Amino acid sequence: GAGVSQTPSNKVTEKGKYVELRCDPISGHTALYWYRQSLGQGPEFLIYFQGTGAADDSGLPNDRFFAVRPEGSVSTLKIQRTERGDSAVYLCASSPSFGTDTQYFGPGTRLTVL
Amino acid sequence: KQEVTQIPAALSVPEGENLVLNCSFTDSAIYNLQWFRQDPGKGLTSLLLIQSSQREQTSGRLNASLDKSSGRSTLYIAASQPGDSATYLCAVRQSGGSNYKLTFGKGTLLTVNP
Q: What is the pLDDT of residues A65-110, one digit of tens each?
A: 999 999 989 999 999 999 999 999 999 999 988 766 788 999 999 9
Residue B28 dihedral angles phi and psi, to the nearest 5° = -80, -5
Is residue A105 within 8 A of residue B44, CB to CB? The reply is yes
Question: A15-58, pLDDT tens digit by residue?
Answer: 999 999 999 999 999 999 999 999 989 999 999 999 898 889 99
Q: For residue A99, what pLDDT is reported?
A: 63
- Cα within 13 Å of Cα(B81), Cβ side: 5
Q: For residue B99, what pLDDT is reported?
A: 79
Q: For residue B96, what pLDDT is reported?
A: 80
Q: For residue A47, what pLDDT is reported?
A: 96
Of the candidates B39, B100, B90, B35, the one whose C-alpha atom is nearest the C-alpha of residue A101 is B100
Q: For residue A100, what pLDDT is reported?
A: 66
Task: Write out residues in chain B with pLDDT < 70, as ranges.
Answer: none
Residue B4 dihedral angles phi and psi, to the nearest 5° = -120, 130
In chain B, residues with a C-beta closer than 8 Å to the C-beta of A35 are 102
B 79-98 → A contacts, CB under 8 A: 89, 91, 93, 98
Distance CA B61, CA B84 (A): 10
In chain B, residues with a C-beta closer than 8 Å to the C-beta of A4 are 43
Q: For residue B62, what pLDDT is reported?
A: 98
Q: For residue B100, what pLDDT is reported?
A: 84
The reply to whether residue B43 touches residue A40, judged by beta carbons under 8 angstroms, is: no
pLDDT band at A1 (very low <50, low <70, confident <90, very high): low
